[in-house]
Amino acid sequence: ASRGGGPAMASVIISGGGIAGLCTRLALKRLGVASELIDLAPAVAKPDRDEPLLLLPNATKILTALGFAPLVGRSQSLDRWTIVNPQGQILGGVDFSRLSEEHGGGHPTVMMRSSDLLVALLKAGSGTKDPLCPVRMVTGLRSLEQQPDASLLASFTAKMPAASIDLLVGADGVGSKTRELRCG
């Protein structure tokens, strides 16, 4: 569909408001691609479900490239993880410093709260009201139907009209409704 008389733009829906969905939204926005993010949850950051995240060097490298170096820098850096039994005997572990040097280009392994990352990603994407990339909470996919022009006709669980979409990004986790609807 043409928007504003310019060239035709793809219609993109991102299903899932977690880390993957918000990173996808931000990356598409920075490329100038309009998208709409939907999620069944009532809010993106859920403090009652706040979990610690262990982010390896490849993740901190990507977050730094996306402009989140201050957030990475404020996080707890980990050089080593050691597993010991109740008697104090070392059973194994990971040398994160070596991993960083060999595979991460010097980017650290860090521990941070999931809500800190979710809130930062949401703010970087201009919150939920961004006209280019809006976020609709308490909204999920109800059905998908392949159209003759290769687009998908999507219907939603909330008061959102059915829409013809060109790209559907499934970032809705392990029990993915997107995967169920597309792959059975």
Map tokens 């404020």 to a residue: 74
Q: For residue 158, how many other CB atoms are within 10 A of its CB?
A: 12
pLDDT band at 76 (very low <50, low <70, confident <90, very high): very high
pLDDT, position 137: 87
Kindly state the average pLDDT of the residues 52-79.
93
Chain centre to alpha carbon of residue 24: 6
CA-closest candidate to residue 109, choices 120, 121, 95, 119: 95
165 within 8 A of 154, measured Cβ to Cβ: yes
pLDDT band at 2 (very low <50, low <70, confident <90, very high): very low
pLDDT, position 4: 41
CA-closest candidate to residue 35, choices 121, 116, 117, 125: 125
> Reduced to 3 states, what is the DSSP secondary structure of residue 14?
strand
177 within 8 A of 144, measured Cβ to Cβ: no
CA-closest candidate to residue 150, choices 14, 4, 11, 7: 11
43 within 8 A of 54, measured Cβ to Cβ: no
Judged against a pLDDT cut of 60, whether residue 52 lies above it is answered with yes
CA-closest candidate to residue 167, choices 148, 150, 142: 150
- In this structure, what token pair is assigned to residue 177? 């409704």
